[in-house]
Amino acid sequence: MSADHSTAPCACASPGPIDAPRRRVIGIAAVGLAAPLAVTTRPAVAAVAGDRLVEEDAEGTPTPLRAGDIKPGKPLLAYPLDAKRGKARDDTRLNKVLLIRLPEADMSPETRARSAGGVLAYSAVCTHQGCNVKTWLANEKALVCFCHESKFALLDAGTVISGPARRSLPALPIRLEGEELVIADAFTASPGVAA
């Protein structure tokens, strides 16, 4: 990513007045952008069918996540595990995966087909300018990016509810092996900010 998003303002519609707590959240999100991305999108290496998903912040040996580890409505950041290397499949932020358990009855058929045990997986990198996205607004049924307030419909293929993002959040089809969450197919689109 060539732009320094930790300082660059968004040339999009004004998000309105920002209170102190939100300033802190935005600041934290901006810090997450400090690591530059060599390319804007790189779908082939970010996730491979058969990879287990492991918790991003777990300490010690990565342990495959089970469907029961994902609490209803509570997003969890994970990454695909390259079992041979014992580490993340890809070393960039494009590897970040958001897992969330939502009611299957509320999912569109397309989305339900990509879920496993009520758990959905999406890229955790906003398609607008690349902030991490991991806040679920249950009352709006939307995932929000606090950098510029894009909202995504996770129950309906990650489509944009409101901008400035214009591209859906890429979905990651998953399946269960026993209780473990396993990647079933590649991301539906390139994770990250489109070129």
Residues that bind ligand FES (CB under 6 A): 10, 126, 128-131, 145, 147-148, 150, 164-165
Could you tell me the smallest distance in angstroms from the CB atom of residue 64 to ligand FES? Answer: 29
Say if strands 180-183 and 97-101 run parallel, antiparallel, or are unpaired: unpaired
Shortest distance, CB of residue 15 to ligand FES, whole angstroms?
Answer: 9
Between 105 and 195, whose beta carbon lies closer to ligand FES? Answer: 195
Residue closer to ligand FES, measured from CB, 120 or 126: 126
CB 150 within 8 A of CB 162: yes
Within 10 Å of residue 184's Cβ, how many Cβ atoms? 18
If DSSP codes are grouped into helix, strand and coil, which group holds residue 89?
Answer: coil
Residue identified by tokens 């689109």 is 189
> Minimal distance in Å, beta carbon 22 to ligand FES?
13
Cβ 157 to ligand FES, closest distance in Å? 18
**Cβ of residue 126: shortest distance to ligand FES, in angstroms?**
3
Nearer to ligand FES, 6 or 63 (CB): 6
DSSP 37: P
For residues 22 and 112, which CB has a smaller minimum distance to ligand FES in the complex? 22
DSSP notation for 41-77 = B-HHHH--TTPEEEETT--SS--B-BGGGS-BT--EE
For residues 171 and 159, give the distance between their C-alpha atoms in angstroms, rounded to a whole number: 10
Output 88 or 169, the one with its CB closest to ligand FES.
169
Q: How far apart are CA 128 and CA 134, in angstroms?
A: 14
Give the C-alpha separation, 186 to 189, whole Å.
8
